[in-house]
Structure 1
């Protein structure tokens, strides 16, 4: 029975949640059934841990989380791996975005911090405004930051500074992400599988975006949402329905639950 159990890695945005709405009942029903049968369910997200909605982070069917696109790996209530942005680098990043007058969101394990925070960040989570370049050395000295989200497209000045420390994932024209170099969702998945002694062929990853490509390619079965970008669909082993229309539930039913019958 052990070898038949799956580790299922689920992206959040436009996979489980769309426009801050979700998870959806038709997805949760199938996820809960898979969890009841002993399969392991993990969130796999670019969001920092503190930026994950409580309805997902605290769901009884979640066995762990890959946060910050691999910078933090949690199994149960224990962080088993982490890589943080060096605190001494944060003032320089702040100075850059005060100069450019663009929003820069710092997502981490214990909070979300931002320069010129966008309206959609005004939710019930812990969010703190950064108003001085040295705030992370003074006011927020306990901040643990794993990822950046930045307004608009990347300028040459930003690329020259950030690319020394971050992989830059673009979502033009709205924003781009700074992921700590060397970290990835697929690396996080490998850590989970090794820790739990689950063979890679028993892993399933479901996502929609370019930042899911590495885990979709690395999983035993990579599944693209129906609303996924063309680049992800091109490398996925299967394609399911859309976010908000039961896509995750359909995939779990077909490739997990029905395989056990």
Structure 2
């Protein structure tokens, strides 16, 4: 009994494309052809296709399948390898599913972690706050920065209102308005750091400097003129108060 390519595919419940693919990767030998050029498959071809189909359904790779067809005695080794790979895959998928469930429970978007969402409560929910929250929760921060942002996240109420007010600061705000905003920010940061003196003592070294600069850069994105003046005032006041220790306020503003 012999069959055409389509008949073989129908018998094995696979597509014509699958049969051609098996030929292309060398798993299925080419059959003899009739005088008219049509392929003529026999029982051995059908059995081979069914074996390949079975092994593929288990998740064996083409290389593993080729080894099995060449050396049937390698089956146990191939299955043990597959079992180990599946164990790793299941563990990874379980971790991913837990992360997805946690994101759904906290309302976090796919591009940020629940930790970043929590940090945004203190750092601001605008683009600046979002970017900074992603950096401080996803990067391996130097200890001094990690401690600062951990403390901020634990006490979001100290900065939330200020972040919102700073974000809404009109580009044409008067000097009096920017000065008042700077005073409020400086007082909040000064009180925050004074209550936590250990946060002022650490200084980044080596590769930590690069990470610190990335975070500091996110703290000072494009701002309107009034916001820029406010930040400059805050930086001057903090340097004056702490003797140059604080280079910029430890929050999204």
Shorter-chain TM-score bucket reads under 0.3
* Structure-1-length-normalised TM-score: 0.20
Task: Say which structure is richer in strand.
Answer: 1
* Structure-2-length-normalised TM-score: 0.20
Task: Say which structure is richer in helix.
Answer: 2
> Which protein has the larger Cα radius of gyration, Structure 1 or Structure 2?
2
Structure with the bigger RCO (C-alpha within 8 Å, sep 6+) is 1
